[in-house]
């Protein structure tokens, strides 16, 4: 297993951490090494450029970038680096209703994609990063296959629970 970070998790402010922590939990569960820091597109633009410019040579394979409000961080990082960027729109103190963050991250121009997850969906961002890593890392790919099976088993357990309480012809 790699010990140096292969996923970079960045966010516009430490106030985003409560949301972004879900990505760290997910990556920990797949034993994927990551680094985490605050990089603000608006408040530390030079740090953002430096981070994005050096990401590939430092060994990162994917960047997860979370931001709220006028959420330019994921798109600007994607403008600089050629490694995949996953954007997490955050409903933050300066968001109107979250749509501002979603659209700022989602509506990228041709040539500069950001894989945008749902509002506050840092867990899915972590999972998507793991899936990107899992395309070439066989053990992680296998763990992801097992994860899918366990999700299915959990739902089927719920089906059984409901079957004992309600009649459903589909499950006879």
Is residue 102 near ligand RP5 by the rule CB under 6 A? no
Binding-residue pattern over the window 28 to 67 for ligand RP5, x denoting contact by CB under 6 A: ------------x--------------------------x
Which tokens is 166 given?
């309600």
Which tokens is 111 given?
């040539």
Choosing from 3, 93, 110, 136, the residue that interacts with ligand RP5 (CB under 6 A) is: 93
Is residue 100 near ligand RP5 by the rule CB under 6 A? no
Is residue 12 near ligand RP5 by the rule CB under 6 A? yes
H or E stretch covering 131:
helix 122-134
DSSP for 2-20, written as a single string = --S-SEEEEES-GGGHHHH
H or E stretch covering 64:
strand 62-68
Choosing from 24, 92, 104, 116, the residue that interacts with ligand RP5 (CB under 6 A) is: 92
DSSP for 136-156, written as a single string = T-HHHHHHHHHHHHHHHHHHH
Cβ-proximal residue to ligand RP5, closest one: 12
Please report where in the chains the tokens 């990082």 appear, as a residue. Answer: 77
Report the interface residues with ligand RP5, using CB under 6 A. Answer: 11-13, 15-16, 40, 67-69, 90, 92-94
């Amino acid at each position: 297993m790699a010990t140096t970070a292969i996923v970079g998790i960045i966010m516009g402010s430490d106030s985003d951490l409560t949301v972004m922590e879900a990505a760290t939990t997910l990556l920990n569960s797949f034993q994927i090494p990551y680094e985490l820091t605050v990089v603000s597109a608006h408040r530390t633009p030079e740090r953002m450029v430096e981070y994005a410019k050096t990401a590939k040579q430092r060994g990162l394979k994917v960047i997860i970038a979370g931001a709220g409000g006028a959420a330019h961080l994921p798109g600007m990082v994607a403008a600089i680096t050629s490694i995949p960027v996953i954007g997490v729109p955050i409903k933050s103190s300066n968001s109107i209703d979250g749509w501002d963050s979603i659209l700022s991250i989602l509506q990228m121009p041709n040539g500069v994609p950001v894989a945008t997850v749902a509002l506050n969906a840092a867990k899915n961002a972590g999972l998507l990063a793991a899936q990107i890593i899992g395309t070439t890392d066989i053990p992680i790919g296998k763990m992801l296959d097992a994860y899918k099976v366990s999700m299915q088993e959990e739902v089927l357990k719920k089906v059984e629970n409901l079957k004992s309480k309600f009649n459903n012809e589909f499950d006879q």
